[in-house]
Amino acid sequence: MTDLAPEGASAVLDAVRRLLPDLAAGAHERDRDRLLPHAELRALSDLGAFAVTVPAEHGGPGGGAVEAIELTRLLATADPSIAQVPQSHFVYLRLVEIAGSPELRRRVLDDVLAGARVANAQSERGGRDITDIRTTIRDSADGPVVDGRKFYATGSLFASWLAVLARDLEGVDHVAFLPADTPGVTIEDDWAGFGQRTTGSGTVLLEEVLVDPELVAPRAEALTGPYAYGPYAQALHAAIDAGLARGALADAATFVRTRTRPWFESGVASAGDDPLLVQRFGELEVTVRAAESALSVGAEAVDRAYALRDPGLHAEASLAVAAAKVLADRAALEVTSTLFEVAGAASTDESLGLHRHWRNARTHTTHDPVRYKVQHLGRWALHGQVPPRHGVI
C-alpha cells in the first residue's frame, strides 16, 4: 500500500515497522495489568507517526488515507489498543483540513508536527441515538462556551488536543478543538470494557469551558461534502480489525508450531504438519488476505475521492470501505475465535493472555455495526442506490 507514498511518509511507516516487535512484546502485560501505553505512544510521536498525514506544504510528510490506514493496521498487528488511538487523531486532522480556519490549521498541525495527539470527545450516553448531541456550545461575552459530558473518548488520556462535538442553540453541530489542559476540562480514567483495555477511553467533563472562536470548526461540510470523510473514518476502524486479525493469526501459528501437541489420529510428529490444521490455517490466511486487500482498495478510493472532491468517487469510496469493514470485522472475529480451536486446550491458559485477541476483537467490532454496511452494499447492487453521506459511511 505504500509504494506510491511520498518519501517522507514511507520513511515514517518503515520506522513504525521497526518498532512493532517492541510494541508487541509488552501487549499482553499491558492488557493484563491495564498499563496505559504512555511510553509507547511517545515513541510513536517521536517517529512522526501521528504527523504522517500533515500536508507537505505545512512541513509534514504529506501522507494521505493510504498511509494513515496502513500505519493503523500495522499498529494493530502488535497492539490494537495502541492502534485505536490514532483513529480519531487522523479523522479530526482531516476535519481540520476540510473545515478549519487558518489559525486552527496552523496551531493544530504545528503541534502535531511537534508530537501532539488529538483525541475525540464525541460520543454521549443517554440520548436516543448517536446523533442526539447534548453537549452545548453557546456564545458568551468572552467567546464560545462548551458544557457537556462525553463518553468513550478514545485516546483522551494521552491527548494534547480534544476534538469536542457540540451543538449550538440552533441545532447546528460544531467541533471545538481544546487543549486538553483547558480550565473546566476533566478527563476521567474510567473505561471498563473487557477488551481494548488500554485505549485511554475516558469520560470527558466540560464545565463552562471557554473556547477560542478560531478553534471551532463547522461539522456539516465534512460530513455532507464529497470528501470521503465518513469512509475515511470507517476505513481506519477496518484497519484496526484487519491488523488485529493478522496479529492473532501470527500468534496462533507460533503457538501451534511451538506448543501444540499433535492429535494422536493425525499420524504426524508435529502439530504444524497436521494436514487438517494446515487446511484450517490456509482458510484463515485467505480470510485475512481478503480483508487486507479490500482495505487497500478502500484506502486508495478514499484518497482519490478526497483529491478530486467528486460525488461519484465519494460513493465508490463508501462502497469500497463498507466491503472492507465487513471483511475485516469477519476476519477479526473468526481468527480470534478459531485460535483456540487450532491451538488446543493449552492455549486457554489464563497466563498466556491469548484470550485478549478475542476480547479486543469482540469489543472493537461493536463499533458501527456491519449489518448496515451490508445493507448499503445490497441497495447499491440491486438498485444502484448510493450510500448516504454521514460520519459512519
Q: Are residues 361 and 254 in the same domain?
A: yes
Q: Are residues 209 and 187 in the same domain?
A: yes
Q: Alpha carbon of 45 to those of 2, 24, 111, 217, 308: distances in Å?
A: 20, 17, 11, 25, 30
Q: Is the pLDDT of residue 292 over 70?
A: yes
- Name the helix (H) or strand (E) containing 280: helix 275-308
| pLDDT tens-digit map of 297-355 | 999 999 999 999 999 999 999 999 999 999 999 999 999 999 999 999 999 999 999 99
372: domain CATH number? 1.20.140.10
Q: Are residues 187 and 292 in the same domain?
A: no
Instruction: Report residue 390's pLDDT band, with 50, 70 and 90 as the boundaries.
Output: confident
Whether 45 is covered by a domain: the verdict is yes
Listed in sequence order, the DSSP H helices in 119-228 are 220-224
pLDDT of residue 118: 98
Q: Are residues 126 and 107 in the same domain?
A: no
The C-alpha cell that represents 65 in the structure block = 488515507
**Percent of the chain predicted with pLDDT > 70:** 98
φ, ψ of residue 74 in degrees (nearest 5): -60, -45
Residue with cell 514511507: 10
Contacts of 316 (CB under 8 A, 6+ apart): 301, 304, 305
Domain finish residue from 117, 134, 166? 117
pLDDT of residue 3: 36
133: domain CATH number? 2.40.110.10
User: What type of residue is 356?
Assistant: R
Query: How high is the mean pLDDT of the chain?
Result: 96
Instruction: Report residue 393's pLDDT band, with 50, 70 and 90 as the boundaries.
Output: low
Q: Is the pLDDT of residue 1 over 80?
A: no
Q: Is the pLDDT of residue 83 over 90?
A: yes
Q: Is the pLDDT of residue 156 over 50?
A: yes
- Give the angle 29-30-34 at the CA atoms, nearest 5°: 120
Q: Give the domain extent around 22.
A: 7-117
- Count other Cβ atoms within 10 Å, centred on residue 168: 15
Cα end-to-end span (Å), the chain: 22
The C-alpha cell that represents 52 in the structure block = 504522517
Q: Report the distance separating Cα 309 and Cα 288, nearest Å.
A: 31
Domain count, the chain: 3
- Beta strand extents in 47-198 (DSSP E only): 118-121, 136-138, 145-153, 161-167, 173-179, 185-188
CB-count exposure of residue 227 (10 Å: 0-12, 13-18, 19+): buried
Q: Return the axis-axis angle of helices 38-47 and 7-25, rounded to nearest 10°.
A: 160
The C-alpha cell that represents 211 in the structure block = 473556547
65: domain CATH number? 1.10.540.10
Whether 107 is covered by a domain: the verdict is yes
The C-alpha cell that represents 145 in the structure block = 462556551
Residue with cell 495502541: 82
